Amino acid sequence: MLNKITLEQFASENGYTLPGSLPVEKWIRIPAKNKSHPNKSASIRLFTDGNALIKDFTTGEDLLYIPESSGKTPEEVAKMKKEQAERKLKEAENYRKEVLQSSENAKALLGLCTDNLPENFPYLGKKQILSHGIKFLSGKTPVPKQLEKLILHLKKQDCLVIPRYSTEPYLNGDLQTLEFIRPNGSKFPPLNSKPKGTYFVIPGESNRYVICEGFATGATLKEYYAQDDNVVIAFNAGNLLPVAQYFRNEYPESEMVIAGDNDFKNPVNIGRDKAIATARLVGASYSIPEFSGDESGSDWNDRFLLDQKEVHHVG
pLDDT of residue 71: 64
> Looking at the predicted structure, is the pLDDT value of residue 248 above 70?
yes
Average pLDDT, the chain: 91
- Under 8 Å between Cβ of 247 and 267: no
pLDDT of residue 59: 75
**pLDDT tens for each residue of 249-260:** 999 999 999 999
Q: Which helix (H) or strand (E) segment is 164 a member of?
A: strand 159-166
pLDDT of residue 39: 78
pLDDT of residue 81: 75
At a CB cut-off of 8 Å and minimum separation 6, what does 38 contact?
267, 268
Q: What is the distance between the alpha carbons of residues 48 and 23, in angstroms, rounded to a whole number?
A: 10
Cα distances (Å, whole numbers) of residue 54 to 61, 62, 193: 8, 6, 25
Beta bridge partners of 225: none
DSSP 3-state of 216: helix
**pLDDT tens for each residue of 100-156:** 999 999 999 999 999 999 989 999 999 999 999 999 999 999 999 999 999 999 999
> Looking at the predicted structure, is the pLDDT value of residue 58 above 90?
no
Cα distances (Å, whole numbers) of residue 116 to 112, 162, 178, 216, 291: 12, 14, 17, 19, 36
**pLDDT tens for each residue of 64-108:** 898 877 666 777 777 877 887 787 788 889 999 999 999 999 999
Rounded mean pLDDT of 299-306? Answer: 95
Give residue 293's pLDDT band: very low, low, confident or very high (50, 70, 90): confident
pLDDT of residue 315: 40
> Looking at the predicted structure, is the pLDDT value of residue 311 above 60?
no
Q: Check whether the bond before 38 is cis (ω within 30° of 0).
A: yes
% pLDDT > 70, the chain: 96
- Under 8 Å between Cβ of 228 and 206: yes
Return the higher-pLDDT residue of 200 and 69. Answer: 200
Rounded mean pLDDT of 265-284? Answer: 92
Give residue 1's pLDDT band: very low, low, confident or very high (50, 70, 90): low
- Under 8 Å between Cβ of 210 and 221: yes
- Under 8 Å between Cβ of 3 and 17: no
Top CATH class, 197-315:
alpha beta
Q: What is the distance between the alpha carbons of residues 30 and 22, in angstroms, rounded to a whole number?
A: 11
Name the pTM for this structure.
Answer: 0.77
DSSP 3-state of 150: helix
**pLDDT tens for each residue of 33-45:** 888 877 788 899 9
List where CATH 3.40.1360 sits in the chain: 197-315
- Under 8 Å between Cβ of 62 and 72: no
Dihedral angle computed from the Cα positions of residues 233, 42, 193 and 132, in that order, rounded to the nearest 10 degrees? -10
Rounded mean pLDDT of 21-33? Answer: 90
Backbone angles phi, psi at 278, to 5 degrees: -65, -45
Strand spans (E) along 92-158:
135-137
Say if strands 230-233 and 198-202 run parallel, antiparallel, or are unpaired.
Answer: antiparallel
pLDDT of residue 123: 96
Dihedral angle computed from the Cα positions of residues 62, 68, 73 and 77, in that order, rounded to the nearest 10 degrees? 0
pLDDT of residue 313: 46
pLDDT of residue 296: 92
Q: For residue 275, what is the DSSP state?
A: H
> Looking at the predicted structure, is the pLDDT value of residue 56 above 90?
no
Return the higher-pLDDT residue of 83 and 63. Answer: 63
Taking alpha carbons only, the member of 190, 194, 239 closest to residue 214 is 239
Ranking 11-15, 72-76, 102-106, 302-306 by mean pLDDT, the lowest is 72-76
Q: How many CB atoms lie within 10 A of CB 36?
A: 10
